[in-house]
């Protein structure tokens, strides 16, 4: 079993979970398929290789809703950041497994969502993929240097937390940790527990974790076939059930209504609701400390400001356990 070490990755000779080899889309280098590249393809990005596209087509053949699910999840990510910033007054984010910075304005990246909600917001991006590191460093240098990038494997979470970028966060104020579709690539439950437990011991009160995670619960046959495509390409993947995710999040006190198919967390303009299986994933927001401890009192951040935990579904309550992004409009 892999145990996180203390070394931050500075160079990467192969893409995480590298599988098929092909020529890179733009650089001419030999590139293998990667989850970041497949996600970029699904978001109509331009940083994917022919190997990414070949794998993406296989996945779509196995699960025709795959592209939709990536888009739903990215849209949810934007709403979750907005929720944490606006409703919980969180202005510092740690985006673990941030993915390629998209060039498609329909799918804003985390620093754009956070800055739109709070112009002083800071986002630390973390990803293990070499291509993500290159692109992120290109895009985040200059005016966006406010939002640094750390090239690291999240199984080395302790080393990430000790990195200068993360050390620059103000731990007198809450932090929002984003784990958006990254834990499916952490196939060992022991590693996933280690990451979550380490974060929980480190996070200041008032902090939150936003999680999305691919599942086979919503369309077992197609979801498992899609996961097999990644595995066959040399990218180990683990789908987790709602029960397994609740188990992972147990110390956070997450309750069952808090976990929903991602697309069910926000309304769409469609006349008919999005079928749950088009989400392909669950979403949940877990707050620290456990909301049960705060159930009857408005929470106060260490800055002394009362956090706005009211949500549209439970406007009469100071603190509810819904914690889903607010319904737009």
Ligand X SMILES: C[S@@+](CC[C@H](N)C(=O)[O-])C[C@H]1O[C@@H](n2cnc3c(N)ncnc32)[C@H](O)[C@@H]1O
When binding is defined by CB under 6 A, the residue of 47, 58, 112, 127 that contacts ligand X is 127
Taking CB atoms, the residue at the shortest distance from ligand X is: 99
Reduced 3-state DSSP string for 47-106: CCCHHHHHHHHHHHHHCCCHHHHHHHHHHHHHHHHHHHHHHCCCCEEEEECCCCCCCCCC
Shortest distance in whole angstroms from residue 88 CB to ligand X: 20
At closest approach, how far in Å is the CB of 184 from ligand X? 7
Distance of closest approach, residue 185 Cβ to ligand X, in angstroms: 4
Distance CA 199, CA 244 (A): 19
Task: Tell which one of 19, 45, 99, 206 touches ligand X (CB under 6 A).
Answer: 99
Nearest CA to 186 out of 157, 147, 160 is that of 157
Q: Is the Cβ–Cβ distance between 78 and 61 less than 8 Å? A: no
Taking a C-beta distance cutoff of 8 angstroms, is the pair 315, 304 a contact? no
- 16 lies in the binding site for ligand X (CB under 6 A): yes
Residue 154: how many other CB atoms lie within 10 Å: 25
Nearest CB to ligand X, comparing residues 174 and 184: 184
Which CB, 259 or 320, lies closer to ligand X? 259
The yes or no reply on residue 285 touching ligand X (CB under 6 A) is no
For ligand X, the binding residue among 20, 32, 33, 35 (CB under 6 A) is 35
Least separation in angstroms between residue 73's CB and ligand X is 5
Backbone angles phi, psi at 148, to 5 degrees: -70, 165
284, 254 contact by CB (below 8 A): yes
By CB under 6 A, residue 77 contacts ligand X:
yes
Interface positions, 145-184, toward ligand X (CB under 6 A)? 153-155, 180-182
**Residue ranges in contact with ligand X by CB under 6 A:** 16, 35-36, 39, 73-74, 77, 97-99, 127-129, 132, 153-155, 180-182, 185-186
């Amino acid at each position: 079993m892999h145990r996180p070490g203390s070394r931050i990755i500075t160079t990467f000779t192969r893409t995480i979970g590298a599988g098929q080899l092909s020529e890179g889309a733009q650089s001419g280098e030999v590139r293998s398929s990667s989850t970041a590249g497949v996600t970029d393809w699904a978001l109509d990005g331009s940083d994917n290789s022919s190997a990414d596209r070949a794998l993406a087509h296989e996945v779509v053949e196995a699960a025709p809703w795959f592209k939709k699910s990536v888009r739903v999840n990215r849209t949810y990510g934007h709403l979750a950041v907005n929720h944490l910033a606006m409703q919980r007054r969180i202005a510092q984010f740690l985006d673990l497994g941030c993915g390629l910075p998209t060039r498609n304005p329909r799918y804003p990246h985390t620093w754009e969502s956070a800055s739109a909600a709070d112009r002083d917001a800071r986002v630390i991006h973390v990803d293990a993929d070499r291509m993500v590191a290159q692109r992120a460093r290109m895009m985040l240098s200059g005016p966006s240097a406010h939002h640094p990038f750390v090239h690291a494997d999240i199984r080395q979470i302790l080393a990430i937390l000790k990195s200068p970028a993360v050390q620059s966060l103000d731990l007198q104020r809450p932090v929002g940790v984003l784990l958006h579709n990254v834990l499916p690539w952490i196939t060992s439950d022991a590693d996933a527990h280690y990451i979550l437990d380490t974060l929980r011991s480190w996070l200041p009160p008032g902090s939150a974790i936003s999680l999305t995670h691919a599942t086979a619960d919503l369309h077992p046959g197609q979801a498992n076939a899609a996961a097999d495509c990644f595995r066959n390409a040399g990218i180990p993947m683990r789908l987790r059930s709602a029960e397994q995710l609740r188990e992972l999040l147990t110390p956070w006190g997450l309750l069952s209504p808090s976990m929903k198919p991602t697309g069910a967390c926000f309304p769409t303009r469609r006349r008919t609701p999005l079928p749950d299986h088009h989400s392909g994933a669950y979403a949940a927001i877990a707050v620290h400390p456990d909301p049960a401890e705060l159930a009857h009192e408005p929470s106060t951040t260490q800055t002394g400001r009362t956090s706005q935990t009211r949500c549209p579904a439970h406007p009469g309550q100071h603190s509810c356990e819904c914690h889903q992004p607010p319904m737009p409009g």
